């Protein structure tokens, strides 16, 4: 997942994407502790993707804040 692709999405879509990824991490952690996980590296990928999404969300909030303060 590229940051450029994320910047093109709306805030609501990004929040939904974060929620879905967090749910997937939860399920993978359950599998990990049960000894049934097939691809442990997926947890790391998801954590990094969540960080990317959160960064883009923060950028969008900061960009919107001065515009709202100017009104």
Q: pLDDT tens for residues 4-17?
A: 999 999 999 999 99
- Report the alpha-carbon distance of residue 34 to residue 16 in Å, rounded: 27
Q: With 90 as the cut, is the pLDDT of residue 3 above it? A: no
| Predicted pLDDT of residue 71 | 67
Full-model pTM: 0.86
- Identify the domain containing residue 51 by its residue range: 3-70
Whole-angstrom Cα Rg for the chain: 15
Distance from C-alpha of 4 to C-alpha of 8, rounded to nearest angstrom = 7
* Burial call 37-66: b when 16+ CB within 10 Å, e when fewer: beeeeebeebeebbebbeebbeebeeeeee
In this predicted model, what pLDDT tens digit does every residue of 12-50 receive, in sequence order?
A: 999 999 999 999 999 999 999 999 999 999 999 999 999
Question: Where residue 22 sits, what CATH number does that domain have?
Answer: 1.10.287.310
- How many domains does the structure of the chain reveal? 1
């Amino acid at each position: 997942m590229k940051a450029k692709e994320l910047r093109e999405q709306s805030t609501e879509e990004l929040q939904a994407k974060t929620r879905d990824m967090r749910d997937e991490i939860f399920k993978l952690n359950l599998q990990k502790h049960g000894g049934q996980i097939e691809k442990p590296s997926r947890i790391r990928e998801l954590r990094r993707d969540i960080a990317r999404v959160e960064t883009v969300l923060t950028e969008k909030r900061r960009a919107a804040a001065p515009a709202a303060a100017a009104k």
